[in-house]
Structure 1
Amino acid sequence: MRNRTVAAAACVVLGLGLIGGAATGSWLVGGSDSEQEHSAFVAAGDLWHSVPVDGLFPRTVDGKGAGPGEADRTWTRIAVAPDSGCTNAFDPLLRKALAPAGCARLLRATYTDATQSFVTTVGLLFTDADDAAMRALAERFKLDGLDSRTDLMPRPYAAKGTAAAGFGNAQRASWTVRVLTDAPVVVYSVSGWADGRTVDTPQPATVAVAPETTSSVAQAGLGHEAKGLADRIERSLRKNVTSASEQPS
């Protein structure tokens, strides 16, 4: 009986030692997963003023396999909007849908493809929201299908003297809006023809990239333009987040 008591006590001591060691180890490597995720979330919110514009919107973006039939794409940046707030940056209904997250800063750039046939504006809306608010907003966009409503399309950024000079609201052809949950950022893009033609029936990128879609927007690959460029700008953002969160405090 005495031997069993001694053994049990030894196990308790050993168990407490292991728990303490694990906790110490977690502290030494930077805390729990949730703490690291929160740290990355916070770091992402500061990128708009800590990363040069070329780091967020590269001058040239390679889109290997991003076109229809997995064709390669290359986009060249032709205009960068002055960083700003969100006043007049969105159509009223989209502005209302995004309002719960707030607007800390809005960054936008417009690109054209290698043939200068298409133009695409991509935006990074840095919000004032915390983790929970971003998750709630993302859930609402998903459940209510807000990312596929034509009355919630993002506005393009046109710049005089560029291939996007005639890229206005009536020229919007395809788009995507993504509410991130691991960063206080909304990534969006909107594409159109560079010749300024109007579009009667825009299509969300998720529809326009489907193989069975036969609209002129889909066949031209404008859904792939919007989706492919947004994909790569989002990846660039995440790389910057990783780099920023790994910096010693």
Structure 2
Amino acid sequence: MLGEPEGYDARGRGRALGVRIRPRAALAAACVVLGLGLIGGAVTGSWLTGDSGDGGAAGTFAAAGTLWHSIPVDRLFPPTVDGRGAGPGGADRTWTRIAVAPDSGCADAFDPLLRKALSPVGCTRLLRATYTDATQSFVTTVGLLFTKADAPAMRSLAVRFRDEGLDRRTDLLPRPYAAPGTVAAAFGDRQRASWTVSVLTEAPVVVYAVSGWADGRAADVPQPAADAMKAGAATPAAQAGLGHEAKGLADRIERGFRTTAGQATEKPS
């Protein structure tokens, strides 16, 4: 008597070929896949939200510190940056990159006291670019400082900046990149009007921005972006929206870096 054709049951109905998976085994496998997906999503999510993780996050942290030499500059500092809702009163902004500084060390990039405050985490590489707004009225230098620090050292620095208000002191400012032959050619130390500094804890990176007028006018007293953006702030920097320029651009460069770092360090499935 001939056997039944492979792949069919006694009534001629099709059945799956190969090994049959018992319901409990199938459920267990599905749970494993779901669990891996949740873990992967949590790691990527920590990059986008700024939450630090543990375990595999240590490798991600270290890998992020090497991105300065493997990611194209246009991904770190896009030629144009959309600042929807970033201006005073929620006005839209668009920034155009006018110059990228040669990658360098940190010796001349910060005021002496800021350089001293950052010294515990070291300096592997500093990347900077200068942007102008759509009207070419303002100029802003944004920087990515890649440090030599581990995760605990970055957390310690972030706590110190927060608790001691180091990001609000007018004697701890980043310096601008005044690119010759551009509207930022006269953007020197005396032209700094507002600034912001953000110490990341899920990557060995410090993000900052400093803004001023494009016509080279001096700022009497620089004002932290957080203060210049407050309702009712009446300083020249606040009235001109220079706090929004610094904070808005820095936030978007930081957000882009988080996304790029998350994609670059994500393990293929």
TM-score interval for Structure 1 and Structure 2 normalised by the shorter chain: 0.7 to 0.9
Matches within 5 A, 1:189-200: 189-200=209-220
Matched with 2:99 is: 79
Q: Find runs of 4+ consecutive structure 1 residues off by over 3 angstroms.
A: 29-33
CA distance in 1, matches of 2:156, 2:224: 22
Identity %: 70
Shift in Å at residue 134 of structure 1? 0.1
Q: What residue identity is the alignment partner of 2:245?
A: E
Matched with 1:46 is: 66
Cα displacement string for residues 84-131 of structure 1 (whole angstroms, at most 9, x for unaligned residues) = 111222111000000000000000000000000000000000000000
Shift in Å at residue 39 of structure 1? 2.6
Matches within 5 A, 1:1-249: 34-248=54-268
Shift in Å at residue 217 of structure 1? 0.7
Cα displacement string for residues 6-64 of structure 1 (whole angstroms, at most 9, x for unaligned residues) = xxxxxxxxxxxx9xx97xx66xx679951232232122111101100001000000000
Alignment check: 8 A CA contact 1:191 1:225 kept = yes
3-state DSSP class of the match of 1:84?
Answer: coil
CA distance in 2, matches of 1:44, 1:111: 24
CA distance in 2, matches of 1:218, 1:57: 25
**Matched residues, number:** 228
Q: What residue identity is the alignment partner of 1:231?
A: D
Unaligned runs of 5+ in 2: 1-27, 44-52
CA distance in 2, matches of 1:167, 1:194: 7
Alignment check: 8 A CA contact 1:78 1:110 kept = yes
3-state DSSP class of the match of 1:35?
Answer: coil
Shift in Å at residue 215 of structure 1? 1.1
3-state DSSP class of the match of 1:244?
Answer: helix
CA distance in 2, matches of 1:191, 1:159: 14
TM-score using structure 1 length: 0.87
Root mean square deviation, CA, Å: 2.1
| Bigger CA radius of gyration | 2
Cα displacement string for residues 165-196 of structure 1 (whole angstroms, at most 9, x for unaligned residues) = 00000000000011110110000000000000
TM-score using structure 2 length: 0.81
Cα displacement string for residues 60-95 of structure 1 (whole angstroms, at most 9, x for unaligned residues) = 000000000000000000010000111222111000
CA distance in 2, matches of 1:184, 1:73: 29
Shift in Å at residue 244 of structure 1? 1.1
Q: What residue identity is the alignment partner of 2:178?
A: A
* Structure with greater proportional helix content: 1
CA distance in 1, matches of 2:56, 2:261: 12
CA distance in 2, matches of 1:146, 1:164: 26
3-state DSSP class of the match of 2:195?
Answer: strand
